[in-house]
Structure 1
Amino acid sequence: MKSILVPMEEHVLIQSVLKTGLMLGRALDGYMEGMAITPNMPSSYASDITIGAIGDISFLDPEVRRRRSEASRRLFETFMAAQGVPRPDTGPTGLCFGWRLGELKEDDFVGHYGRAFDITVLGRPSDQANHPRPPTVEAALFESGRPVLIAPPTPPETFGATVVIAWNRSTETARTVALAMPLLAKAHRIIVIDLEDWGVSGPSTRELRHTLNRNGLPVEIRTVPNPNGHAGEAILSAARSMGCDLLVKGAYTQSRLRQFIFGGATSHILSNTTVPVLMAH
């Protein structure tokens, strides 16, 4: 896990995205690449529906796109320079950064381009203005085939020292645990939790612990109470109480439609986490 993609867009959480991403980069001694992003073109615009019915489409103006791309590049490069991170051609391999040249890319491109990286770093999504956008996170989760690190609103003081794995026995969570192994290998403490009456049929926490132990990882297991039946709330509460600075969880074991209608652990965690979350689908 040496290649890290950091999609850039000016919003209120961008400093947390950069700082959390840099913590990941330092932990992995990796290459961090920034790229400027923008929302997908509205389908109604592409179908020649009147502009007034679409809302703000300023991002379609070529000059606006150029300015936004340049602003994102300056922000990324200024941050990296201030943190003493070199470009890849100025020193030995290890922690370094680069920038993807070219115009703004839409959310869908994040998912496609992310396939060439080990992990993508994004901010906690929200429907509020001037926040990271849910479609960017969904594109990365569903299209890249790679894990996504969600940065919380406030960057953590430490990263990856105490890792909590929310184990629901699903294929998605099993894949996420496998993808997280480079970070698990560096953790001081790993806690695998499950919840009462939550998850799908599959291996128990003890069986997962056995496999992780075989990889040289000391693991604790806990069953967390879930009195209100809200798995996302229970997971975040347990993570906070355990001093977690990285939560590992599979994304969207239930369909997005079902989560939209009935709610779900993934949706709640994406909207409310205050710790970094590593997810994959």
Structure 2
Amino acid sequence: MRSILIPVEEHAVMGAVLETALLLARKFDGYMEGVALGPDIAELVAADFSLSGVVLDDRTRRDFLDHGRTFFETFMAANNIGRQREDAASPSFGWLSDTLVSDNGIGEYGRIFDVIAIGRPGPGPRQPRKSTLEAALFESGRPVLIAPPFPRQTLGETIVIAWNGSTDTARTIAFAMPLLTRAKDVVVLNIPGPRLPGPTEDQLAKSLRRHGAPARVVLIGEASKSAGAALLETAAMLGADLLIKGGYTRSRLRQFIFGSVTSEILAESNLPVFMAH
């Protein structure tokens, strides 16, 4: 995981996103590229938002760009991270020119990166937008690293895998293999309730051990809590600092109607989540 794309936007979790991305970059001597995230003008106009006239203003666009770049570069300087060099043997950073990129643009540009780091979506104007997560998750073909509101001190020391037998989770695990093989502890958790047909938790753990990952199985018993709450509680008890979860096994429409473990984790998780679709 040598390349990390970081959409930079003015929200309350931006500092935690950068801290989380830096933890990942330090593990792999990775390159972090910042890009200014701004409103998609065409989408705003189509949705009849009153802001559409404002974002067309060149000065407003320049403010988005300048603020994002200054915030990003100040963080890198404070952490002694240098600019990208071809022979760099330590974490480095770069910035995508003077370009304001929309959510859809993040999904497109993210296809050439190993992972996209974003904040956990939340309600309110000062929170990361769910549309950014969905564009990165569904349009890039790459995994996303979702930072919680408050950054952790470590990343990938104790990893929990939410296993439900789905192809989405299998794909996410494949993307996460560099992290899994470096972890001190990898715990495969079952998700309570109905599950898809496929390999068991023990079979997954055995497969991971073949790759050198220290995998073991912990079963979550039936509880009065929801599956998502039980999973997050167990992860906290295990001291996990990263959760691996497939993204949206059901269609987004069915998620909206029935709810889901994924939606609950995105709303409540206080640890970083590594997710792919």
Q: Same fold (TM over 0.5)?
A: yes
Asked if the contact 2:44/2:51 (under 8 Å) is kept, the reply is no
1:18 paired residue number? 18
- TM-score, normalization by structure 2: 0.95
- In the alignment, which residue of structure 1 is the partner of 2:76? 80
For the pair 1:166 / 2:166, whether they are aligned, the reply is: no
**2:5 matched to 1:2?**
no
Match of residue 157 from structure 1: 153
My pick for the range that moved more, 131-140 or 224-233, is: 224-233
CA shift for structure 1 position 61:
2.1
- Which string of whole-angstrom CA distances, capped at 9 and with x for unpartnered residues, describes residues 201-253 of structure 1? 11001110111111112211011124236221121111111101000000000
1:30/1:43 CA distance change after superposition, 3 Å: closer
Matches within 5 A, 1:1-281: 1-41=1-41, 43=43, 45-46=45-46, 54-57=49-52, 58-89=54-85, 92-228=88-224, 230-281=226-277
The 2-side partners of 1:190 and 1:43 are apart by 41
SS at match of 2:83: coil
RMSD of the alignment, in Å? 1.6
Count of aligned positions:
276
Distance 1:169 1:239 in 2: 19
Q: Distance in 2 between matches of 1:19 and 1:204?
A: 35
Structure 2 regions of 5+ residues with no counterpart?
none
Amino acid at match of 2:190: D
**Aligned partners of 1:263, 1:141: CA distance in 2, in Å?**
18
CA distance, structure 1, for counterparts of residue 44 and residue 8 of structure 2: 25
Displacement of 1:169 after TM fit? 0.4
Whichever residue aligns with residue 113 of structure 2, its letter is F
C-alpha contact (below 8 Å) 2:145/2:273 kept by paired residues? yes
State the AA in 1 paired with 2:14.
I
Distance in 2 (CA, whole Å) between partners of 1:45 and 1:150 is 29
Q: 1:90 to 1:146 in 2, by over 3 A?
A: closer
Distance 1:66 1:226 in 2: 53
Q: 1:90 to 1:147 in 2, by over 3 A?
A: closer
Name the TM-score, length of structure 1 as normaliser: 0.94
Q: 1:91, CA displacement in angstroms?
A: 6.0
Equivalent residue letter for 1:274:
N
The letter for the 1-side match of 2:136 is A
Residues 161 and 189 of structure 1 are in contact (CA less than 8 Å); yes or no, is this contact kept in structure 2?
A: yes
Q: In structure 2, what is the Cα distance between the partners aligned to 1:110 and 1:201?
A: 34
Seen in structure 2, the aligned counterparts of structure 1 residues 226 and 74 have a Cα distance that, compared at 3 Å, is: farther
Q: Tell me the distance in 2 between the aligned counterparts of 1:257 and 1:155.
A: 31
Contact 2:35 2:96 in 1 (8 A): yes
Task: Check conservation: 2:65, 2:100, Cα contact below 8 A.
Answer: yes
1:180 to partner: Cα distance: 0.2
The verdict on how the C-alpha distance between 1:99 and 1:203 changes in structure 2, with shifts beyond 3 A counting, is: same
Report the CA distance between 1:41 and its aligned residue: 2.9
Asked if structure 2 preserves the Cα contact closer than 8 Å seen for 1:8 and 1:76, the reply is yes
Residue 28 of structure 1 aligns with an amino acid whose one-letter code is F
**Distance across 1 between alignment mates of 2:119 and 2:265:** 12
TM-superposed CA distance for 1:93, in Å, is: 3.6
Shift of 1:157: 1.5
